[in-house]
Structures are given as structure tokens and as C-alpha cells.
Chain A
């Protein structure tokens, strides 16, 4: 076997960190799409089945682009399906938030809102990436993500400011998911990518926090009290970086999710579908 076939446009020293970055973002999109795929046909109304399917579709599309590009950057001839179907849970680099179970509609929506607020600021910043492939992808993904955020934020406000029951459920969802938001504050060890302008913005986390604080106030919902006693990170969720999903540390929920996603494909190695 020969070594990787590097892209001529890519600075060789950036290759490992760019590959990791693409897998982190691709896994983020795919794992959340997979969770949403489990909701379709179980949504509170038909319009919601359609909206959730639509968001899931966009995320699958984003993951496919990111994985395809990851394959080019890696230079070993791997395609999108390799990264989705033939890696194990320890190799997945998504934030833990997106692997959390669907729960009730409040959990599904709050998880989506926390994610979308991150994803929108991420893609906005990536439009200025020095990497032309990523900048082009960001232009499209930003528009899609703006719709996703409008949808999830709209629901968070309606649930928070709806009935007593919906308020209670939304607050419970926030409280239970809050600890997973530390991953959204920043991605560790991407300094090289920041310095080279491939990932131009290192302050997505601050912007994420501003969006979340404003929307939750609008929704009459509270940010969990642990915020004020947090250590260091700007989101205040305070989980330490060693447990970050971006580094391959996961909750017990990722394994079964991947098992369902991958089982059929893995039962037929080499088959076309």
C-alpha cells in the first residue's frame, strides 16, 4: 500500500488537523441526522414530521460533503460511506450533545436548538475560511442552518411561553442537556487551523452563548444555575475538556445509535446499495 495521496492545494502540515476537523463536523451532522431519522413518523403533527425530515436531510447532505472532502484530504481513497459506516464509536468525534436520546419533543427541540445555534455561528464563520472547499460548503450550509435555527428556536419560545406543562418540560430538557453544551464552547487543539485561517473564528462559543441567552429569556426559560459556578469555559457548562466528544469521548448512547446505523452495511462487506 502506498502512502496518502495529498491534495496539491493543501499545506502538508495542516493535513492531520484538517482531517480531524472535517470528521468532527461531519460526525456532528450525521449523528444528529440519525437521531432525527428516528423521530420521523413519531412527531406531534404531520407538519413536524415534514420539518424534521427536512432538517435531517440537510444534515445528511452536509455530512456527505464533509466526509467526501475528508476522503480527499486523507488521500487513502475512502468515500463518504467509509466514514459513516466503517468507524467505531471511539473513532467518532461528534459533540456528545447530538448523540443524546430523543426523549420527549422538548428534549428533541432543545437539543436541536442548542445545536443549531452553534452550527449557524460555525457556518457563518466558515464562509471566510481560507479553504475554498469549506468556504463554498459553508455558504450553502449557513442558509440551511438559518432555517433550522428559526424552526428550533421558534419551538423553544412556544414551549417555554406556551402552557405550564410545556414550560415545565422545556425547562427539564434544558436542565438535562445543559451539561453537554460545554463541547459547543470551543473545539480543543485547533490552533493551527485558526492560525492558517482555515477555521478563522475561535469565538463561535461566545456567539453561541449570546444567542442561547437571548432566546431563553424570550422563552421565559432559565439557564441552569451551574452557569455561575462554572470553571473557565464561556458557556459555563464546566465539563472538562478531557471528556469532550470532539476528542472521541462519548456517552453510552452513541454505541447503540451506530449499531443501528451500521448493522446492515457491515453485514455485507463490499456490497453496493
Chain B
């Protein structure tokens, strides 16, 4: 059987392509781009929350947040591991991130202004990430799908912890309640834009669906997320910052307003101070660590030679 036929047969049977299998160049490069972007998002995503570790308001919250940020670093590691099975090295991908030739999820270009933002990020951003990633557990590329299984388990834990922070604030003092409402107002629209542009404008939807990389369209995922999140928001007793939001009996879904796609495109283009800051922090950690990585390598070489 021709390599292409074999690949097509695996995709048609909804089975997994493995690292050693032949795959079309486009499939490989699409996956590399997607998995790398996902890995970059995990590690850039450590920043807005990492900034709150030293300021967490109780020892229990400090421990939970530290564990969460540690998990995100772990997600980055599994995902860079998955890209290595596609023939690209982590070091090269980091260079592409630092030189801004590859992107990360633009959600992390928003600042975490208050402690409630830590709650909103866990609840909404990890919530949206789960909605996106659960279908990716069945991705046609085996190593990516398996990495996602592990990641999703931890993300749902993050989502619950974020909701718990929001709930405690919403049931707290007037100031805490206002803090929670402010964070919801800031993070709601960016969260629903995490699913990407509307289907009518999404360029890769059809091909990635055919390849079994994507299972649902952007708008389908967005709708799932909205439907899942509104009842949770009601439990919090907070006001959603979308006047068009209402239950549609006929569709069996919530209707929602139109996000500001111009703002979204600005964020994707990485304009403004926040994206510059995110890359600056990442790049300085990397550059400041160069002598450490060199030392570790020099030591390993010396002692390998001696052994």
C-alpha cells in the first residue's frame, strides 16, 4: 500500500497516526504549529498567575496556586515532548517564541489585576481550555492526543479551584464581591474569544476537521463553553457583562452577544505593552539561564568522558 493510502486509511478508520508513521508534510507542519503554539501558551500562561504566588492571601491558596503554575510548566513539557516526536527540538521552538515568530494564546496578553483575576483565569480560561482540549484527546496524532488526556485531568482541577476562589469572593465582603465582578467583567469576553474567529472567517477549520486534528468548529466549542459556564455564573450570583445573553428555548442553547473581534485581532497581532512584557519576562529567564544550562552540559560532558 502507498504511504498516502495507508495514512488516509488510518484517518478514515479514526485510528492514530504515530511518530514513526509516514504523514503528509502539511499534516506534520500543521501539527507542529498547533502543538508548539499550545506549548508556548502553557508556559506564557504561567506568568499572570505566577505573579500572584507571592501575594496569595492565605497559605492554602498560595499552595494551590503554586501547584497550578507548576502543572502548567508540566503541560508545557509534555507538549514540547510531543513536538519532539514530530522532529523539532524544544530549544528551537523557544527561539521562535522569543523572536515572536510563533504565537501563544492571546488570552495571556491580558493582565491579572487583582486576586479575583486568579479565580477568573482558573474558572474561565482553564474552563475554555478544557472545552477546547477534551476533543483533542481524540486527535488523530497519537502523542498529542495522549498528552492531552493527562493535561485535561489537571485542567479540570484548575477550573474547579478557580471557581472556588470566585465563590469565596462572591460570598465574601462587599469589596471582595466587587473584586469578583470586576474580574468577570474583564475576563468574560476574552475567554469566549479563546475559541478563535467565527466559523465564517476561520481559515483552517475544514482541513483540520478532515484530518481529525479538530473535531468541532470554533463556534460549536464556543457555544459549549457558554452553555456550561452560564449556570455556574448564576451560582456565583454575579452579573454577566453581556446584555444579549439569554436562554433560547428553540435552539436549546444560550444566545450571546458579538465579541469585539477588532480587539481580538489586535491581541493576536501582539500589539501593545502586555505582549512585549510577556516575551521580555520569558526571554530574560531564558537568557539569564544560559550560563546555567551551559554549566550543566559542561559538567555532564566532563563526567561522561571520565566514566
Contact = CB atoms under 8 A, between A and B. Distances in A.
Interface of A: 30, 33-34, 37-38, 40-50, 53-54, 56-57, 60-61, 63-64, 67, 80-81, 84-85, 104-105, 157-159, 161-163, 165-166, 169, 260-261, 263-265, 268, 270-273
B251 interface: no
Contacts of A272: 168, 172
Nearest to B55: A264
Interface string B104-135: 00000000000100000000000000000000
B293 interface: yes
Interface string B156-179: 000000000100100011011000
Contact of A161 (B59, B70, B291, B302): B302
Contacts of A42: 281, 284-285, 288
B59 A60 contact: yes
Contact of A265 (B54, B57, B302): B57
Interface in B66-109: 66-67, 69-70, 73-74, 76-77, 80
Nearest to A167: B295
A45 B286 CA distance: 7
In this complex, the member of B286, B288, B298 whose beta carbon has the largest number of chain A beta carbons within 10 angstroms is B298
Contact of B46 (A40, A165, A265): A40
Overall SS of chain A's interface: helix
Contacts of A261: 54-55
Interface of B: 43, 46-47, 50, 53-63, 66-67, 69-70, 73-74, 76-77, 80, 115, 165, 168, 172-173, 175-176, 281, 284-286, 288-296, 298-299, 302
Nearest to B287: A44
A262 to B, nearest CB: 9
Contacts of A50: 70, 73-74, 77
B70 A44 contact: no
Contact of A264 (B57, B77, B302): B57
Contacts of A33: 62
A163 B76 contact: no
A49 B168 CA distance: 29
A49 B70 contact: yes
A47 B285 contact: no
Contacts of A270: 173
B69 A271 contact: no
